[in-house]
Amino acid sequence: MRKLVVGVMGGGEGASEDVCRLAYKLGKLIAQEGWVLLNGGRGVGVMDASAKGARECGGLTVGILPDRNAANASPYIDIPILTGFGDGRNFINALTSNVVVALPGRMGTISEIALALKNGKTVILLDFDLGDLFSEYRKAGLMFSVKKPEEAIAEIKKILAEGAEFF
């Protein structure tokens, strides 16, 4: 049986301490559910914090790195995937994730959200206000907003209970 892959996207450099705390808690909760955490793999911001939370709870972490150097991976990434694709790796992040949880970030995060939505993936915004951007996807039931990591997990469970086919 395949495991659910939860993509955690968000700011790298410049991510606030509050956002990193949310990412850390989210990572812990993903691991506690037995799900796989996937992110951009680097040792900064949301990527590092979410992987640390998951790893500390025995979870499996996968990092899709933009370059060819495994030394740039967070020490909390179990499986670093070196792409050499730069920002092109955002497409891999979006397509490999069964569901995406996006925390505050900049253009890279927004591109991952757009790619996920365009490809029919559910996106949960965690304390990330995008205003009316992507409102058509919200109306279609592909994008949701929550304030706490626990609410993101509850939303994923609700979608699973409704019989969503993530695989």
- The whole-number average pLDDT for the span 129-133 is 94
**Residue reference for tokens 């365009």:** 118
Q: What are the chain's domains?
A: 5-132 (3.40.50.450)
Q: Which two tokens stand for residue 4?
A: 């659910």
Give the pLDDT confidence score for residue 68 in this predicted structure.
95
Question: Per-residue pLDDT for 162 more than 90?
Answer: no
pLDDT digits (tens, 9 = 90+) for 34-85: 999 999 999 999 999 999 999 999 999 999 999 999 999 999 999 999 999 9
Pairing mode of beta strands 61-65, 5-9: unpaired
- The DSSP line for 13-62 is TT--HHHHHHHHHHHHHHHHTTPEEEE--BSSHHHHHHHHHHHHTT--EE
- CB of 74 within 8 A of CB of 52? yes
- The DSSP line for 104-124 is S--HHHHHHHHHHHHTT-EEE
Cα separation, 134 vs 55, in Å, equals: 32
